Amino acid sequence: MGDVIIIGPRKFQNELAAWYLEKVAGLRCQLLNDYSAEAADVCEEDSKGLLLWDCLGNDLENLWAGLGACYPFGDGRYFSALFNVKNGIGIEDEVIRRGVRGVFFETEDLKGFVKGVRAILGGELWFSREALSKYLLNTRKQTRYFGKTKTNLTRRESEILMIIASGASNDDIARRLNISLHTVKTHVYNIYNKIQVPNRLQAALWASKNL
């Protein structure tokens, strides 16, 4: 299903979380104090999985910086999720906009935590229905106001963008279109620049509104 990398300085607590995920869900877990070159090396391997960011006592600016740094290395193979998030701070909109796949609040029980991790690794989103509805409604309002965006995407780029929106990885796209992985990465890079998005989730949302 994929590896889980737990990122945060609280070694004892995160070791317990890793042990539980390994024992109950059968997942392979690694621990990192922060997002660093070491994490980048892990993400560049021929693997996929989930980056779990421990938000307890974490400054949001540092968190956004870490999430931004991980996008080039994830390459669509590693998703990001936050855990130990304080209730009621209202960051769901921003989190979804930044391409994070799920949020686990500090009140989440272990059963829900494991279920959510499995869901995200399976390609699903893990947010409350209320948070997703609010985000989608706001997105639709913006679309109605501004209309569809004109871009200079080529036919091939539009094709790849639609495949990205279906949840395919770069490897999947290369196999489906019978082109090299390097060519796919070049197309994806150009697509992101043209439609001005930082990640696959935002690219998929853009495609749903504009293609």
Q: Is the pLDDT of residue 40 over 70?
A: no
pTM of the model: 0.62
In this prediction, residue 19 carries a pLDDT of 93
Listed in sequence order, the residues at least 6 apart from 13 whose beta carbon sits closer than 8 Å to its beta carbon are 54
Question: What percent of the chain is helix, strand and coil (3-state, nearest 5)?
Answer: 55, 15, 30
- Let me know whether 108 and 87 are in one domain: yes
- Let me know whether 165 and 112 are in one domain: no
Q: Which of 135, 159, 190 is the last residue of a domain?
A: 135
On whether the CB atoms of residues 81 and 4 are closer than 8 A, the answer is no
For residue 66, the enclosing domain spans 3-135
Total number of domains constituting the chain:
2
Q: What is the CATH number of the domain that holds 168?
A: 1.10.10.10
- Let me know whether 26 and 116 are in one domain: yes
pLDDT digits (tens, 9 = 90+) for 7-26: 888 888 999 999 999 998 89
> First-to-last CA distance in the chain?
31
Pairing of strands 102-105, 29-32: unpaired
Please tell me the distance from the alpha carbon of residue 5 to that of residue 25, in angstroms, as a whole number. 14
Please tell me the distance from the alpha carbon of residue 189 to that of residue 85, in angstroms, as a whole number. 31
Please tell me the distance from the alpha carbon of residue 87 to that of residue 137, in angstroms, as a whole number. 22
- Let me know whether 46 and 115 are in one domain: yes
On whether the CB atoms of residues 121 and 50 are closer than 8 A, the answer is yes
Is 117 part of any domain? yes
Range scoring the smallest mean pLDDT among 51-65, 82-96, 132-146, 168-182: 132-146
- Let me know whether 16 and 98 are in one domain: yes
pLDDT digits (tens, 9 = 90+) for 139-149: 655 554 444 55
Tell me the pLDDT of the chain averaged across its residues.
79
Q: Which of 135, 165, 187 is the last residue of a domain?
A: 135
